[in-house]
Amino acid sequence: MNNPAFPAAATHAQATDRLGRPLRDLRISVTDRCNFRCVYCMPREAFGKDHQFLEHKELLSFEEITRLARIFTRHGVEKIRLTGGEPLVRRNIEQLIEMLAAIPGLDLTLTTNGSLLTKKARTLKAAGLQRISVSLDSLDDAVFKQMNDADFPVAKVLESIDAAAAAGLNPVKINMVVKRGLNDASIVPMARHFQGSGHILRFIEYMDVGHTNGWRMDDVVTAKQIIEMIDAQAPLEQADPNYRGEVAQRWRYRDGSGEIGVIASVTQAFCRDCTRARLSTEGRLFTCLFATAGYDLKSLLRGGASDEEISTAIDAIWRKRGDRYSEIRTAQTTKLEKIEMSYIGG
Ligand code: SAM
C-alpha cells in the first residue's frame, strides 16, 4: 500500500527526530473512559452523562495494539506504559498485558487511579506487568473526594497500593497532582505518610493538558515550592537521574528513609530529553502530550498495510517531530484546542 501522507523513509533503524531525540517510550491509552471525574483532568461539566465516549469498535483491539507495540520496538521503544482514561476499566486488560509481556526486552508498566486494583493486582502481575503507578492526590477524604468527584475514599486507594506491593509490582510509584488552593495542604502529610514505605511518591505540577480544565498558571504549585515545603520538615538532597530523559527529578531524604520525585513539566520543561510517543485509544499517534493533532495509524492497520508499511509511517512521523510545547508555553499556547489527556493517555 502506498500512502502519500507517509513518504517512505531511508531506513527504519531507530531514527531521531528534528531535535536529535530518539524514540524510547510509548504510552498507550487503552480506553477514553474513567470512573473518576478528576477536576483537573475530566471535569464533570465537560465529561457528563451526555459525553460521547468512543464506541468499542473504534478502539484498537488487543491484537492491533500488540502488533503496533512490536513494530514500535524496532524503532527503539523499550518501555510501554498503559494508561487512559482508567486502564483497569478496559475489560480483560490482563490479556493485553500477557500479549505485550511476550515481547522481549520490554519494560511494561501501567498508571491507574487504584479503584479496581486491589482485586486485580495479582492477576496483572501474573500476566507480566512489572511495575505500577497509582494516582492519589490527598490523604484527606474531603479533599480527595473533591478532586476525584466520584465520592471515592482514600482508604480504598491505600488498600490498592498495599495490594500492588504485596503482588510484587514494586517499587509502587504514587502520583500526586498538586493544584493550588485545592490540595497543597496535603503535600507534607503525603510525604510523611510514604516516607520509609519503599514506595516512591511523585509530585506533578498541574499542567494545561486538554482545554476543559480551565488551567491558569496561578494554580500551579511549582516543584521548587514543593521541595522547599518538604525539605523544611524532612531534609532532602537531590539524587542523580536513573537515566537520561527521566521525567521526575529525584530527591532523597537525608536520613536514608527513601526518595520522592517532582515532575516539573511546567516550570522546568524537559522537552529536550523527551523520548515519548503516545498512542490514543483509537490508534492515533501523538508526538507530544500537548499536541493538537495525531497521525492515524488505525486506518493503516485496518486498511491492510504490512508491518513494513506501518514501520515506514512511524519512521517518517518521528523524523518530522519538532515538538517542544512546554519550552515555548505562553498565555497564547495554553488556549489552543489541545487533545484531552483522557483520550491521548496520561
Ligand atoms: N486513570 C489513570 C490514573 O488516574 O492514573 C491513568 C490516566 S491519568 C490521565 C494519568 C495521570 O495523569 C494521573 O496521575 C493524573 O493525576 C495525571 N493528570 C491528569 N491531568 C493532569 C493535569 N492537568 N496536570 C498534571 N497531571 C495530570
Q: Whose CA is nearest to atom 5 of ligand 1?
A: 112
Of ligand 1's listed atoms, the one at least distance from the Cα of 29 is: 7
Q: Which residue has the higher pLDDT, 243 or 62?
A: 62
Ligand 1, atom 9: closest residue by C-alpha = 346
Whether 273 and 244 have beta carbons less than 8 Å apart is answered as yes
**Ligand 1 atom, smallest distance to 265 CA:** 25
Cα of 342 vs centre of ligand 1, distance in Å, is 8
pLDDT recorded at residue 339: 82
Percent of the chain with pLDDT over 90: 83
pLDDT at 246: 86
- Taking the CA of residue 137 as reference, the ligand 1 atom at the shortest distance is 16
The pLDDT of residue 302 is above 60: yes
Report CA(346)–ligand 1 centroid distance (Å).
5
pLDDT band with cut points at 50, 70 and 90 for residue 337: confident
pLDDT at 55: 97
Q: What is the rounded CA–CA span in Å between residue 153 and residue 146?
A: 10
Cell of 342: 483522557
pLDDT of residue 6: 43
Q: What is the dihedral of CA 54, 55, 58, 64, to 10 degrees?
A: 100
pLDDT at 10: 40
**Which residue owns the Cα nearest ligand 1 atom 12?**
346
User: Per-residue b/e over 115-143, b at no fewer than 16 CB within 10 Å?
Assistant: bbbbebbeebbebbbbbbbbbbbbbbeeb
Q: Which residues have a Cβ under 8 Å from the Cβ of 126 and sit 6 or more positions away?
A: 94
Residues 6+ apart with CB under 8 A from 343: 29, 32, 85, 280, 281
pLDDT confidence band for 43 (50 / 70 / 90):
very high
Per-residue pLDDT, averaged over 217-245, amounts to 95
Q: Is the CB of 30 under 6 A from ligand 1?
A: no
Q: What is the mean pLDDT of the chain?
A: 93
Cα separation, 174 vs 33, in Å, equals 21
pLDDT tens digit sequence for 71-106: 999 999 999 999 999 999 999 999 999 999 999 999
Query: Is the distance from CB of 57 to CB of 85 less than 8 angstroms?
Result: no
> Span 243-271, mean pLDDT?
93
Whether the predicted pLDDT of 276 surpasses 60: yes
Nine-digit cell string for 62: 488487543
Classify the C-alpha dihedral 35-37-42-47 as positive or negative.
positive
Position 7 scores a pLDDT of: 42
Residue 289 has pLDDT above 70, yes or no: yes
Is the minimum distance from the CB of 177 to ligand 1 under 6 angstroms? yes
